[in-house]
Chains A and B, each alone.
Chain A
């Protein structure tokens, strides 16, 4: 079973700061998803990546398959980025997602 660890669990930042959220997992995977969950509960998929790096606006996701580690970066953070960020690797054999418990990000104006 894939064990997923996210750090930090909680993060408070000032508007404009550069944010990094980390995700480590224990078994080989075929892809990893980063998700954003807003206070109302709705979840939005941010990235799906299997190697290297992807960028979308102020968000950047990287993955190192050998190290079993992925990071989500937010540049020039804004209060509207406040949400829970969840990483979810997909195990190669099971093809199902295993979800981290999430990182609660609060960006203060």
Chain B
């Protein structure tokens, strides 16, 4: 079964802790993306990667970090520097930047 998996579905952390969200795809896609969704707002791009070992900041990269060591994996770390980390995080992938994006099921992060 081809697709994108994100784990866990729900994540709870204390303020001041770093947390890493997992995103894996077996679609053989080159491009991968991380988005954040807040209530009543559109998705906003955090980071994207067009190819292994390369990634670029999106519109709201501050307080986040990523790595792309393997084509299949694009983990997102939410650092303690992120002022408002509580949100719904969505990972997506596409064949390349100009193609349709496929989304994972999302991780809902709550930081208290």
Contacts and interface: CB of A to CB of B under 8 A. Distances in A.
Contacts, number: 51
Interface stretch (A42-50, A58-66, A67-75): A42-50
B112 interface: no
B63 interface: no
B42 A33 contact: no
A95 B98 contact: yes
Contacts of A95: 97-98
Interface in A1-51: 4, 30-31, 33, 35, 40-45, 48
Nearest to B97: A95
Majority secondary structure, A binding face? strand
- Counting contact residues on chain B (CB < 8 A from A), the size range is 20 to 34
B103 A4 contact: no
Interface string B92-105: 10000111111101
B103 A48 contact: no
Contacts of A100: 42
Interface string B42-75: 1111001000000000100000000000000000
B98 A101 contact: no
B101 A97 contact: yes
A59 B100 CA distance: 17
B85 interface: no
A101 B88 CA distance: 14
Contacts of A45: 100-103
Interface in A77-109: 86, 88, 90, 95-102
Given A40-B105, A48-B99, A88-B42, 7 more contacts: A35-B103, A86-B42, A90-B98, A97-B45, A98-B42, A99-B44, A101-B40
